[in-house]
């Protein structure tokens, strides 16, 4: 089978497409023929040795995928050959097949294409957990989404609307502003043209109830200064690169919460709640309230370019590697 290997930490261009023997199938394991793998910001970090997990070399990037079960080991229940599935794994999905344990699988909804399945769970489940469990977002509240045209950002826009919030999208270009509006944003702030704080004073004079921040950098403090009394500031990621230093006196003065969102740890620590979240997300998808935007696909041989485009923030919605 073909796999896109990281053999030494470095840039995406250093990834190597290789033919390797399929992994042996053990007891309690499932073999999946992959058709598509999502590209996410952790892929940028993991190939550089900057992620919180450091797999043994060589390894393939790719934390989520969709495909078809081809073989199941002894004592596997709930899945059989021919089942279409979504696969969640920390790495390894930039490959033609993968061997995983059943807890890494979820049924692919019948109406969902493989490309959308590979772009679904990591972004939507992260945003859903952030808004529902961490922020406790309520109907009628205001939600500021930074990086609103990216994968998790666009998911947060859609989910915020589905939860009854007034959604304000922060984006870097007019094209991304149009995309955010098309996915439900009520208001848009274009960073390059207007300051976040000045614009928010007009849009939300009392401050925004929830800030969803997957960007970090210079925008975080500006957004925190614009939060409402008892607001909730969600720390989701640092796509801009720099991890911001926040003056904690702002949290004191605002009476607000600065809340970390670590979806991967949540799925491991609270699996029953995670499964309930996934069921809710599938229901929203089938009702037409959310849908992944797959803006571009790449063949497996060009997986390095897919990560490079993610690294340089050229991506809107989600991109997918196909096998």
Tell me: do 139 and 254 sit in the same domain: yes
The pLDDT score that the predictor gives to residue 169 is: 98
Instruction: Determine, yes or no, domain membership for 173.
Output: yes
Question: Whole-model pTM?
Answer: 0.90
If asked whether residues 253 and 219 sit together in one domain, one would say: yes
Q: Which helix (H) or strand (E) holds 174?
A: helix 174-182
Q: Would you say how long the chain is, in residues? A: 323
> Where in the sequence is the domain holding 9, given as residue range(s)?
2-119+292-322
On whether both 130 and 115 belong to a single domain, the answer is no
Same domain, 128 and 93: no
Q: Are residues 99 and 183 in the same domain?
A: no
Position 202 in a domain: yes
> Is 82 among the domain residues?
yes
Q: Give domain status of residue 7, yes or no.
A: yes
Q: Is residue 283 part of a domain?
A: no
| Cβ contacts of 1 within 8 Å, gap of 6 or more | 19, 20, 21, 22, 95, 96, 97
Number of domains in the chain: 2
> Degrees (nearest 5) of the Cα angle 317, 134, 242?
55
Task: Report pLDDT digits (tens) over 186-241.
Answer: 999 998 888 888 899 999 999 999 999 999 888 899 999 999 999 999 999 887 77
What CATH number should be reported for the domain holding residue 40? 3.90.180.10
| Within-domain flag for 277 | no
Q: Name the more confident of 195 and 138.
A: 138
Q: Taking the CA of residue 136 as centre, how many other CA atoms within 13 Å lie in the half-sphere pointing to its CB?
A: 5
Q: Note the pLDDT tens digit of each residue in 32-90.
A: 999 999 999 899 999 999 888 899 999 999 999 999 999 999 999 999 999 999 999 98
Can you tell me the mean pLDDT for 119-144?
97
Do 238 and 306 reside in the same domain of the chain? no
Mean per-residue pLDDT, 302-308 = 97
**Range 96-125 average pLDDT:** 95
In a domain, 271, yes or no: no
Residue 160 belongs to domain with CATH number: 3.40.50.720
> Which residues in 277-292 are b (16+ Cβ under 10 Å) and which e?
bbeebbebbeeeebbb
* pLDDT over 80 at 142, yes or no: yes
Average pLDDT, stretch 4-24? 96
Is 84:59 a contact under the CB 8 Å cutoff?
A: no
Report yes or no on 103 lying in a domain. yes
């Amino acid at each position: 089978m073909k796999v896109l290997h990281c053999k030494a930490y470095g840039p995406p261009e250093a990834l190597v497409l290789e033919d390797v023997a399929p992994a042996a199938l053990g007891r309690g394991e499932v073999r999946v023929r992959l058709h598509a793998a999502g590209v996410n910001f952790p892929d940028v970090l993991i190939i550089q040795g900057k992620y919180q997990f450091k797999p043994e070399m060589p390894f393939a990037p790719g934390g989520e995928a969709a495909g078809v079960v081809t073989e199941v080991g002894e004592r596997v229940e709930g899945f059989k050959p021919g089942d279409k599935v979504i696969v969640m794994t920390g790495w390894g999905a930039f490959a033609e097949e993968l061997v995983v344990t059943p807890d890494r699988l979820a049924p692919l909804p019948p109406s969902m294409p493989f490309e959308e399945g590979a772009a679904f769970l990591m972004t939507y489940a992260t945003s859903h957990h952030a808004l529902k469990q961490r922020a406790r977002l309520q109907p009628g509240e205001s939600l500021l989404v930074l990086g609103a045209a990216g994968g998790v950002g666009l998911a947060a826009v859609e989910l915020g609307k589905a939860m009854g919030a007034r959604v304000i999208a922060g984006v870097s270009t007019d094209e991304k502003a149009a995309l955010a509006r098309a996915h439900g944003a009520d208001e848009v702030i274009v960073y390059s043209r207007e300051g976040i704080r000045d614009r928010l004073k007009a849009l939300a004079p009392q401050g925004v109830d929830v800030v969803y921040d997957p960007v970090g950098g210079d925008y975080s403090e500006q957004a925190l200064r614009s939060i409402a009394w008892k607001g909730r500031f969600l720390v989701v990621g640092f796509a801009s690169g720099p991890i911001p230093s926040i003056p904690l006196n702002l949290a004191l003065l605002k009476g607000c919460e600065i809340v970390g969102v670590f979806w991967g740890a949540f799925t491991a620590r609270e699996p029953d709640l995670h499964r309930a979240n996934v069921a809710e997300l599938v229901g929203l998808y089938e009702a037409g309230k959310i849908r992944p935007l797959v803006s571009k696909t790449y063949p497996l041989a060009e997986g390095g370019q897919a990560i490079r485009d993610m690294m340089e923030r050229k991506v809107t919605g989600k991109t997918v590697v196909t096998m």
